[in-house]
Amino acid sequence: MKVIDKLAWIELKDKQILSTRSFGKDKYYIPGGKREEGESDVDALCREIREELSVQLDEASIDFVGVFEAQAHGKPEGTLVRMTCYRAAYSGTLAPAAEIEEMRWLRFGDKDKVAPVDILIFDFLKERDLMA
């Protein structure tokens, strides 16, 4: 079994979650990405969010949310994605950059627009009354 290890930034506003869609993709994803060799979770998350959304995460505010695992969208059966999620304050203006074509605030009812691992995260947030 192959596991894709990723990090994600959970940004909530008005009980909606910030989600991104990369060029050529049909699903939205919670922003984040993979660690580069030698990077800590904090370093990788800050770099990915800066590259994808043009904002700077406040490292002192980064807070662990949880780890979620599901079948990786668009990958062969048995390929899992493990998403380690964090919340954090940020500075700057959110704007799509790099491979990001679009960003949207999604509600719980938009689960059909996201990848399987994100569905688990939506459920987790809804159970805690953080999404509407």
What's the average model confidence in pLDDT over 75-104? 96
**What domains does the chain contain, in order, with CATH numbers?**
2-127 (3.90.79.10)
pLDDT surpasses 90 at 129: yes
pLDDT surpasses 90 at 1: no
**Based on the number of CB atoms within 10 Å of its own CB, is 90 exposed (0-12), middle (13-18) or buried (19 or more)?**
middle
pLDDT level of residue 113 (50, 70, 90 thresholds): very high
% of the chain with per-residue pLDDT over 70:
100
pLDDT level of residue 106 (50, 70, 90 thresholds): very high
pLDDT surpasses 90 at 74: no
pLDDT given for residue 117 in this prediction: 96
Residue with tokens 């590259």: 51
Q: What is the mean pLDDT of the chain?
A: 96
The pLDDT tens digits for 10-65 are 999 999 999 999 999 999 999 999 999 999 999 999 999 999 999 999 999 999 99
pLDDT given for residue 51 in this prediction: 96
